[in-house]
Chains A and B, each alone.
Chain A
């Protein structure tokens, strides 16, 4: 490497902007050239001088405040018009996200208004169903007679559940029970299917419009919930899907 080349690259070397090969070439040249080494040291000294003595003018506080104010005012007067046109896709993305969030919130709220679509509710009725089997507390009123079961609820819940006898269809009524679901007292009717039990939870709906069946499975139990005639229903059982669907169909008719 010649002295001229070295002088040309010297500043890149000092500023750490050279590639490895040029760095090495320069260092090799410094080892054998006194003049270039002197020049290099002079540049280093100048740099040190600058670092030590050059004044860095920090912005006065009053200027900082004024600029923050200017920016704030400008944002109010002209809310990012350029940004809007140039960054339309970002705005679009933001709008989409806003829309999706709104949709999500709406869905969740709607879910709360319609308990039968609420996973938490399904979980709750399954728990009740399991508990009723576990503690041998299936029914408070043991009767296969709908005319015995229905009046039993009088004075115990603030509504009159419809109690159907489905014995001819193979779902004999087993009894009735008071239970507690969705933060309120509900009527639980117990039907039998062969050796299995079906718990049918009934309570007044918070949302009076009819809702179609919402089916889900929790811990292996099938849950079907729906709303009809201002009443919420949830049927829970470990019978086959087809049996439970048939049961729900019969109740709804």
Chain B
């Protein structure tokens, strides 16, 4: 018979994934802890709707939504959401090799550049690069179509490169 996992089995292995995402989105430890705590309470409430499958993607979706509500409530829109359209023009420049330039980037600079990104770019990068989620899992977590995942990742990366360049060059 189908042995349905318990709430603990589904969610407790992913506390760090939840915290990592919340920490990157809220940008500080204290808020991240509050968000994760609240997200788990929400997850408990919604567990009846969990249809099996990927527990981490399911939990991260709740964490992410909790973050958004929390940021709206507590920061009144300081979450710096830059609309995606604004960035469309950025991408067409001729590419230059960047491997050498990127070698100068350290953890601190990367963190700063990441924190300057809009929430929607930051979250998609965290899910892809740090959680190694597939496009399908990301589309579940962010509630966006599969096709949008790739284009959003493309823009997020290009935006990040831009920020990194800005971090290194004094005139930016």
Contact = CB atoms under 8 A, between A and B. Distances in A.
B16 A59 contact: yes
B60 interface: no
Interface residues of B, number: 54
Contacts of A90: 2, 4
Contacts of B160: 46
Contacts of A75: 7
Contacts, number: 132
Contact of B107 (A46, A55, A58, A71): A55
Given A53-B106, A57-B20, A63 B153 contact: no
Contact of A57 (B32, B102, B153): B32
Nearest to A83: B48
A93 B3 CA distance: 11
Contacts of A51: 129
Interface stretch (A10-18, A175-183, A189-197, A204-212): A10-18
Most A CB atoms within 10 A — which of B12, B91, B99? B99
B19 A57 contact: yes
A9 B154 CA distance: 9
Contacts of B15: 59, 63-64, 67
Main secondary structure of the interface of A (DSSP, over half): helix
Name the 3 nearest CB pairs between A and B, nearest first: A82-B48, A59-B19, A86-B48
Interface stretch (A36-44, A139-147, A152-160, A221-229): A36-44
B97 A63 contact: no
A220 interface: no
Contacts of A43: 157
A58 B32 CA distance: 11
Interface string B14-52: 011011100110000100110011001100111111000
Contacts of A59: 15-16, 18-20, 36
Contact of A56 (B1, B20, B29, B98): B20
B90 to A, nearest CB: 13
B23 A11 contact: no
B19 to A, nearest CB: 4
B96 A38 contact: yes
A47 B38 CA distance: 32
A87 B114 contact: no
Given A41-B99, A80-B47, A82-B48, 10 more contacts: A11-B157, A46-B157, A50-B129, A56-B16, A57-B20, A58-B20, A59-B16, A63-B37, A67-B40, A85-B48
Nearest to B51: A86
Contacts of B32: 57
